[in-house]
Structures are given as C-alpha cells and as structure tokens.
C-alpha cells in the first residue's frame, strides 16, 4: 500500500497574506517578463554569438517594466490603506487560528 504524503496545512494568516500578494495578476505577469528578460540578457553576455538573445531580453525587460508600472496600482486605495488592510486581514486570520487551536 502506497502511503501518500499530506500537504502541509497553511494557517489562515499565511493564506490571507499569500492571497493578497498574488491577487494582482498584472503585476505578476510584468514581474515574470522582467525576470525572463534579465535572465536572457545574462545568458547573452556569456554567449558571444547570441547577440539577438540580449536584444530579446532587453525588449522583454522593457515590456515587463512598462506593464508593471502601468498596473502597479490597479485599485483606488493609497499605500497606507493597503498596508493597513493586509495587516488587519492577517491579524483577523491569526486570531481565528489561535481560537481554533486554543
């Protein structure tokens, strides 16, 4: 009989923080484009005959930076409001976890 490993349960506070981090798909895509672009540029430095790779990397980096910059604030809250909201959600989730395990 094969024994399957269970996934580690994450607490509600961790879930709230992860949910808040990954709710903006636009900035995540922009960050991924920048990462791929920078990686391609680094690879192109090591390869002398792959100048086109550096050019593609630069283009992806520019598109990713533009995309992230345009969509970095895709809600109507100030940074302070967002920070307070994240902390309030994490605190509520932590309190709920503490009540459950007490």
Asked if pLDDT for residue 25 goes beyond 70, the answer is: yes
pTM confidence score:
0.52
CA distance 33 to 30: 5
Distance of CA 14 to the CA centre of its chain: 14
Asked if pLDDT for residue 34 goes beyond 60, the answer is: yes
- Provide the pLDDT confidence category of residue 24 given band limits of 50, 70 and 90: confident
pLDDT mean over 82-100 = 83
Greater confidence (31 vs 3) lies with 31
Which pLDDT belongs to residue 50?
A: 80
């Amino acid at each position: 009989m094969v024994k399957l490993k269970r996934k580690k349960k994450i607490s509600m506070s961790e879930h709230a923080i992860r949910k808040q981090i990954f709710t903006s798909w636009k900035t995540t895509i922009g960050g991924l484009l920048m990462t791929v672009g920078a990686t391609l540029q680094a690879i192109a430095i090591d390869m002398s005959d792959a100048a086109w790779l550096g050019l593609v990397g630069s283009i992806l980096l520019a598109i990713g930076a533009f995309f992230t910059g345009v969509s970095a604030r895709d809600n109507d809250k100030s940074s302070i409001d967002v920070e307070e909201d994240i902390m309030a959600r994490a605190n509520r989730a932590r309190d709920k976890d503490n009540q459950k395990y007490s």
